[in-house]
Amino acid sequence: MMTPMELLGTNSLIWYILFALWTLPWKAYALWTAAKRGDKRWFVLLLILNTLAILEIYYIFKVVKKTRAEVWQFFTQKVIQF
């Protein structure tokens, strides 16, 4: 019987790392924005569900209506300097 890692292939660790690097900044920004705005339901939803940043991106751009420039400014000022 094959383990889950064997089923995904030998490069699965690389995929996990790439998914984490993609998801974490989006999740952090979305959670920070939801907390700052007092959106308790969105905060819990974003905290519990892992959608590879799809829900987070939807929340940031459609619900909060942030622009790409605002998001990029946050990432360059807060995340990259960290």
Contact (Cβ atoms closer than 8 angstroms) between residue 59 and residue 33: yes
Say how many CA atoms lie within 13 Å of 5 toward its Cβ: 5
Considering its fold, how many domains does the chain have in total? 1
Query: So what's the pLDDT on residue 24?
Result: 92
Q: Is residue 31 part of a domain?
A: yes
Q: Give me the tens of pLDDT residue by residue for the chain, a chain 82 residues long.
A: 666 666 666 667 787 888 899 999 999 999 999 999 999 999 999 999 988 899 999 999 999 999 999 999 988 887 666 5
* Structural domain for 54, as ranges: 22-79
Q: Is residue 15 part of a domain?
A: no
Query: So what's the pLDDT on residue 64?
Result: 95
List the beta strands (DSSP E) in 30-73.
none
Query: So what's the pLDDT on residue 74?
Result: 86
Distance (Å, whole) CA 82 – CA 74: 12
Contact (Cβ atoms closer than 8 angstroms) between residue 43 and residue 34: yes
Q: Is residue 70 part of a domain?
A: yes
Q: Is residue 16 part of a domain?
A: no
Token pair belonging to 8: 């995904």
Query: So what's the pLDDT on residue 79?
Result: 64
Give the position of tokens 């829900």.
55
